[in-house]
Structure 1
Amino acid sequence: MLNRFNSESGSTPRSRGRSRLVVALALLATVGSVGVPAEASTAKHPDWRSYVLAPSSPQVSPVGVETRGDVTNAKTLVTGKNTGKNKPKSTTLTTVPGGAPASVLLDFGKDIAGTPHIDVTALEGSPTLSLATSEARRYIRTPASTTVSAAAASGATQVTVASAANLEVGNTVTFGTGTTAQTRTITAFDTTAKTLSFKPALTGDVPAQTATTSSPGAPSSDESRGLAGVGGIDTLQPTATGQISASYHPGFRFVLLTLTSPGSISLSAAGVDFQGVRATPADYKGWFLSSDDQLNKMWYSGAYTLQLNLKPAGLNGLPDKRIYDGAKRDRSIWTGDLLVQGPTAISTLGDEGASYVKSSIDVLLATQRADGAIPGSPDFRKGSNPAGSPLFYSNNYSGYGARAAMDYYRYTGDKDYITKILPALRAELAYNDRSLTANQLVASNDRDYWQASQTGEVTKYSIDYYILLKDMAWLERQVGSAALADEHDAKAESIKQAVNATLWNPQLGAYGQSSDHPDVLVEDANALALQYGFVPAERRDSVLKALKTLWTPHGAIMGPGLVDPTGHTIEPFGNGMETAGRFTVNDANGAFDLMRRTWGQMVDKNDPLYTGAFWEFKNNDGGVNRATASLAHGWAASPTVQLTEQVLGVTPVNPGYATWNIKPHTGDLKWAQGSVPTKYGDIAVNWQSKANNSKLTLHASTPRNTSGTIAVPVTGKSIVKINGRTVYTNGGCTAYKGTVADGYAQFTVPGGTYDITVSRG
């Protein structure tokens, strides 16, 4: 199908790797030839491979360790610190009756997935170990929160509590709050009798119903076995020396090993057998690099997020490949997430990524209802069934499924596949059409991605249906009916007119949420309006200004007073819509600003929630509000797609990049470069820009047997040259069917190599 995503037909994997290295080195070499200062082409241009986050080996060792209780030689378990001066050492955990259980907290530095294991060198007694995993350190232990059931008098060393869950010997326990609170050390507890023993004795009476809390809490896992069918806390009971393995865990940074029974155990090593897609630099078929280190980190964090979400064939008892929403919790295919994950998979991993997208779409369509509805998630809740069960989440998510399938075709050019599933996509479109009102707007009491029902004629739902219609019109012209395409375009245009006539709110200077809530400003609808051309030029500044009122230091909120039912307010999925909208109307600096607010925190290794991947959501303060928050979530990976398509500037126009567009948005960047895999060969681009685009140089290498457009920013005083020939001067184009719009001069060219300069006359 995609015989050029990796190499020419017939080449070996080793030769493909060498050829890609040659292409990458050649692209780096061209940087100097198109006008980059010497220092910029060397010291200021790091190797993109250094940003790749996947472990270099399938056997992953911890990079840090912390201890509680009686633990010796803990650093043995950290890479590079496993020997003494004269002989190997072992880490020994010892737990005595009535004493704090010995434990080690292993930090792997970033999210991984796989099977944890330990190498046992000695043991005394019959040791029992618990093994818990978590993406965030704060959720590896759960503090107890209960009440005293019966009053306890001064001098008591034991109380009865409503629940003895999450207690651990050696932790502190606090009875009451404020100045009368008494904090003690737990010495024993009985989960059946619900008694709690402590020392020293109470110095004052504790009434019944007194609030009782512990710190730091008992070992816990942030995984949800009921949804994902995997994870939870493992119990290990070694009976001899040698290696012992836990169960598979899908997404974690931390492993907590606790010796819960009296005795001791010595370990020479602890690690994880990585199970999943471990993409090394040789596996990347596309790459990106720019003058902004933080943006570079975002591109590769998005790629790594996607990789953590990929379920290889055979894993978890399922024969097919799937793209899950997150590394942990749901571990289900979600259509909304696929809108971001699909392009990310294909633009970073080429053929391999495309195979995951196609397989996931197959799972979606296998559970399509007779009325045309596609499930929002075809494999939700795998706790009792590894294959899961279809969840028809919302009409909007049904449409997302059809759009994800069309995106697959747009990026791959797999005509046979899209032709086969075209009837299913037509059926879904007919299903969604039932929500269109006589006013040519969409009304549906739907949850959509932030799970809150929206009533009335909803702006975002109407724009989403417009997008679906336009995508279907494009598809029908490629493989179906031109007459149907014309009908879809006409209906889409009527929706655009209705949105502007009915849902624009002059007082907001933006579009309202819905006909029921016209005075509520929402990020997503206004962002999509910018991205898909709903906003007339004279209104753009007003919408951009209104959206900026939603910004916080940690990203944009959904809207004033709007809170997801689970309690969060900042959605990276919606923020990605806004950055896309800002790029579309040439507000690159605004897009970069919002990217840095939303995703900059996520790529900061000093942030306590850092996983190397992108998070599902945030609160106003930049944190998350529950243990099950996904910290490796695919729908947040939009920076990877947008840095490729809006900053490097490469987008597909016709299937498989048979025709393409190169239109970089430079913003405050000095340079960017990279490569995009296509059916016909790689598209390689690098550009350099001086302040205010006073001079721009762009080099593009595009495949033969393709064609496309190259657009560069201009003013009336600019001079544009392509391969030394002047093609734009005095405000007009003179070659390559050039046109000028929205501050860009655009030229239509056949596949080939182009050196372009833009300078002020």
Structure 2
Amino acid sequence: MRRTLAVAAIVALGLAASPAAATATPVRSWPSYVLGPHADQVTPKRAEARGTVSHAGSLVHPHGRPTTLTTIAGRTPASVVLDFGQDIAGTPYLDISQVSGTATLNLVTGEAREFLRRPAATTLAAPAATGAQQVTVASATGLEVGNTITLGAQTRTIVGFDAATRIVDLDRPLEQDVAAATAVTTAPGAPASDESRGLAGVGGPDNLQVTAPGRVAAGFHGGFRFILLTLTTPGTVQVSGLGVDFQAYRATARDYRGWFLSSDEQLNRMWYAGAYTLQLNMKPAGLNGLPDARIYDGAKRDRSIWTGDLLVQGPTIINTLGDVGADYLRSSLDALFATQRADGALPGSPDFAKRTSPAGSPLFYSNNYSGYGARAAIDYFRYTGDREYILGLLPNLRRELAYNATFLTADNLVASNDRDYWQATQTGAVTKYSIDYYILLREMAWLERTVGSATDAAGYDATADAIKTAVNAKLWNPTLGAYGQSTDHPDVLVEDANALALQYGFVPAGRRAGVLRALKTLWTPYGAILGPGLQDPTGHTIEPFGNGMETAGRFAVDDVDGALALMRRTWGPMVDPGNPLYTGGLWEFKNSSGGVNRPTASLAHGWAASPTVQLTQQILGVQPVGAGYTTWTIQPRPGRVAWAQGVVPTRHGDISARWTSGNHRFNLHVSTPGNTSGTVAVPAGKRSIVLVDGRPVRPRITEGYAQLSLRGGRHTITVQR
């Protein structure tokens, strides 16, 4: 893919490119939405102190006076919370200007401020009598001098404790007896890491021994917005500087090969948050002892390649970063296919468990995820046109398809006691698994017709047709007005299966409105739930992965307003800088109240980035048809959006599009590589006047869109409705 527009030219294209832009909602130029750091060393934006700390603000705005932390035995340890304003990744460092004796600085990182400290939640190990100033607790985890401690109805301050004996010293005597096993809580708690070191292989708390002035580096931390720095030993330390060596993929506007801009500020934020999420997920070659580049599922956790995530990450990373993104995806696929089993199965993650090696070991998590891995490889070819690479993988893909075929029943449905992506096993012939296998068959048929066997392609299509017929005959529930979960649970409404049914043409036109209504019964103010009985007990109540399937399904049947409404519920709070959980990235999941309910929740997670892909493909309207965009389709779905514009990189050159909609008029300007061709579809009715490059045409009108076949080049399409 070559870049045909310099950044300056792209910026100039911005708002001035559209005559209607001056009257549209004011927005910023697209580079101003880019979230990557401007330099390899990142410094905090805000500081907040606790205990005896002077000049904490010097860590944000150095002015010659170092930040001084002083901890006195028996008093609150000196600490500073540093806020970087959004998620970053890398190695924190401290510049020490002075230290008294030997000091220990504890450093923990966190994506969410609320999990930087972990309150104790324990019980009394022995009864405590009236007048006692010492109590023994069952666990010392979460204790810190200076915190309040509540024992039943009495609240005191911790002035000391022994972690080995679990004896806690109180600031004043108890006024009444407290029985053994009484609940004990503390606030705000002790420093705690939100990282899962056993999964990620990195992170956790750093205890830095400081003996002399100079630079002290912590370990690598994969995704965090906050640092909590605590002087845990008595003494004084002066810190003249603190920063982070950024060690994900740092992309400035000059590194973007694709971009998006619209009249809608919130949608713009979503697009760039998805792009930045992927950059945080990118592990550069050589980092953490691994020579290859990889796309991890999350910045912080699990820091593993996951096939389900790649379905979203692949198109996102290529649409935003072009060749760089393609290289990362290909390297990740190499790691995946290197661990393929002899029976054809692909692991859900090729590098999940990292307890003994940075490379991890494969986790054969789900039969459905095995199929996702094959689809991710086909996506790579669709977006890049890398024929040599896909031909090398074709035997592996055929073996994987044969493995998935073993779960097809005589009724042409897929029965597999599988966990899929939400970690709860479904039984019987499952609607979603059947549709997923149908999708894989169609993808393989496209691939075989392009680079392989037309005979095999015809066979795959025939099997796919039989599955579609069986799903409609045996899994449709007229009472639900939608497809049931499975033959074992035909009365359970699920989001994902019905969303995919809409996206992939399973739902006859007369049933679509009913399915859309049924899906809307699963909506909450914070997004859609998966469906009754499918919630993960660890908190996966609202899945951006599943919600992305629903928005894609709604776009596919031209319910643009519904798709954008669900986007706003699900992703809108994530891109609000005023949200306490804001990271600049998109979150793995939400709980039923719209937040997260555990410290290890990933707040920069690849499978949540579907708005970036869908805004490019559905609102801007650009999608590949032939491998590497040799052929393409451009079909904007404006809904209530006033205008949009952007660029999509391809191996043949950039595809750019910009459109305006309003006052019964639709204008589209496209520029596509000269050696390509495709279809342009614009909103129109049977009485609309359609002009192509100023000349009236009589296009075919299908489902509210005028269909035009065009060769590559510059074209202007105008519709007067």
Q: TM-score range by the shorter chain?
A: over 0.9
Which deviates the most, 401-410 or 186-195? 186-195
Q: For residues 681 and 582 of structure 2, what CA distance do their matches in structure 1 show?
A: 37
Alignment of 1:333-352 (within 5 A): 333-352=305-324
Letter in structure 2 aligned against 1:146: T
3-state DSSP class of the match of 1:703? strand
Match of 2:595 among 623, 626, 639: 623
Percent identity (aligned): 66
Letter in structure 1 aligned against 2:323: D
Residue-by-residue CA offset, 1:201-257 (whole Å, 9 max, x unaligned): 101110111100111111000001111110000011111112111111111010010
Which residue of 2 is the match for residue 5 of structure 1? 2
Deviation of 1:742 (Å)? 1.3
Residue-by-residue CA offset, 1:317-371 (whole Å, 9 max, x unaligned): 0000100000112100000000000000000000000000000000000000000
Deviation of 1:562 (Å)? 2.9
Q: For residues 727 and 27 of structure 1, what CA distance do their matches in structure 2 show?
A: 29
Partners of 2:99 and 2:238 within 8 A in 1: yes
Q: For residues 27 and 12 of structure 2, what CA distance do their matches in structure 1 show?
A: 12
Deviation of 1:396 (Å)? 0.3
1:410–1:24 distance in 2 versus 1, CA, 3 Å? farther
Which residue of 2 is the match for residue 750 of structure 1? 711
Q: For residues 8 and 466 of structure 2, what CA distance do their matches in structure 1 show?
A: 50
Partners of 1:330 and 1:381 within 8 A in 2: no
Q: Does 1:134 align with 2:110?
A: yes
**TM-score, scaled to structure 2:** 0.99
Partners of 1:230 and 1:383 within 8 A in 2: no
Q: For residues 5 and 196 of structure 1, what CA distance do their matches in structure 2 show?
A: 66
Q: Does 1:221 align with 2:193?
A: yes
Which residue of 2 is the match for residue 77 of structure 1? 59
Q: For residues 250 and 706 of structure 1, what CA distance do their matches in structure 2 show?
A: 41
Partners of 2:14 and 2:29 within 8 A in 1: no
Match of 1:705 among 675, 700, 704: 675
Which residue of 2 is the match for residue 719 of structure 1? 689
Match of 2:654 among 682, 696, 700: 682
Q: For residues 700 and 28 of structure 1, what CA distance do their matches in structure 2 show?
A: 16
Aligned-residue RMSD, C-alpha? 1.1
Flag structure 1 segments of 5+ consecutive residues without an equivalent: 8-17, 734-738
Q: Does 1:99 align with 2:94?
A: no
Deviation of 1:30 (Å)? 3.5
Which residue of 2 is the match for residue 25 of structure 1? 12
Which residue of 2 is the match for residue 12 of structure 1? none
Q: For residues 118 and 618 of structure 1, what CA distance do their matches in structure 2 show?
A: 34
Letter in structure 2 aligned against 1:700: V
Partners of 1:125 and 1:262 within 8 A in 2: no
Flag structure 2 segments of 5+ consecutive residues without an equivalent: none
Match of 2:410 among 417, 438, 445: 438
Match of 1:57 among 39, 44, 66: 39
Alignment of 1:652-663 (within 5 A): 652-663=624-635
Deviation of 1:625 (Å)? 1.2
Q: For residues 38 and 347 of structure 1, what CA distance do their matches in structure 2 show?
A: 28
Q: For residues 26 and 291 of structure 1, what CA distance do their matches in structure 2 show?
A: 15
Partners of 1:614 and 1:636 within 8 A in 2: yes
Letter in structure 2 aligned against 1:31: S
Which residue of 1 is the match for residue 514 of structure 2? 542
Deviation of 1:505 (Å)? 0.3
Partners of 2:21 and 2:643 within 8 A in 1: no
Q: Does 1:741 align with 2:717?
A: no
Deviation of 1:5 (Å)? 3.4
Deviation of 1:121 (Å)? 1.1
Alignment of 1:463-478 (within 5 A): 463-478=435-450
Q: Does 1:111 align with 2:98?
A: no
Which residue of 1 is the match for residue 543 of structure 2? 571
Partners of 2:422 and 2:540 within 8 A in 1: no
Q: For residues 646 and 471 of structure 1, what CA distance do their matches in structure 2 show?
A: 20
Which residue of 2 is the match for residue 279 of structure 1? 251
Partners of 1:27 and 1:684 within 8 A in 2: no
Q: For residues 177 and 611 of structure 2, what CA distance do their matches in structure 1 show?
A: 57
Q: For residues 23 and 592 of structure 1, what CA distance do their matches in structure 2 show?
A: 26
Alignment of 1:287-326 (within 5 A): 287-326=259-298
Q: For residues 324 and 425 of structure 2, what CA distance do their matches in structure 1 show?
A: 37
Deviation of 1:97 (Å)? 1.1
Deviation of 1:565 (Å)? 3.1
Q: Does 1:211 align with 2:183?
A: yes
Residue-by-residue CA offset, 1:477-528 (whole Å, 9 max, x unaligned): 0000000000000100110010000000000000000000000000000000
Which deviates the most, 240-249 or 570-579? 240-249
Q: For residues 255 and 38 of structure 1, what CA distance do their matches in structure 2 show?
A: 43
Deviation of 1:740 (Å)? 2.2
3-state DSSP class of the match of 1:533? coil
Deviation of 1:26 (Å)? 4.2
Letter in structure 2 aligned against 1:148: L
Q: For residues 450 and 154 of structure 1, what CA distance do their matches in structure 2 show?
A: 50
Q: For residues 520 and 16 of structure 2, what CA distance do their matches in structure 1 show?
A: 40
Letter in structure 2 aligned against 1:305: T
Alignment of 1:187-586 (within 5 A): 187-586=159-558
Match of 2:148 among 172, 187, 190: 172
Deviation of 1:542 (Å)? 0.2
Deviation of 1:560 (Å)? 2.6
Partners of 2:312 and 2:607 within 8 A in 1: yes
Partners of 2:274 and 2:610 within 8 A in 1: yes
Q: For residues 22 and 546 of structure 2, what CA distance do their matches in structure 1 show?
A: 40
Give the length in aligned residue pairs: 721
Q: For residues 23 and 141 of structure 1, what CA distance do their matches in structure 2 show?
A: 45
3-state DSSP class of the match of 2:229? strand
Letter in structure 2 aligned against 1:75: G
1:413–1:74 distance in 2 versus 1, CA, 3 Å? same
Partners of 2:335 and 2:350 within 8 A in 1: yes
1:38–1:220 distance in 2 versus 1, CA, 3 Å? closer
Q: Does 1:158 align with 2:119?
A: no
Q: For residues 710 and 621 of structure 1, what CA distance do their matches in structure 2 show?
A: 42
**TM-score, scaled to structure 1:** 0.94
3-state DSSP class of the match of 1:706? strand
Q: For residues 535 and 133 of structure 2, what CA distance do their matches in structure 1 show?
A: 44
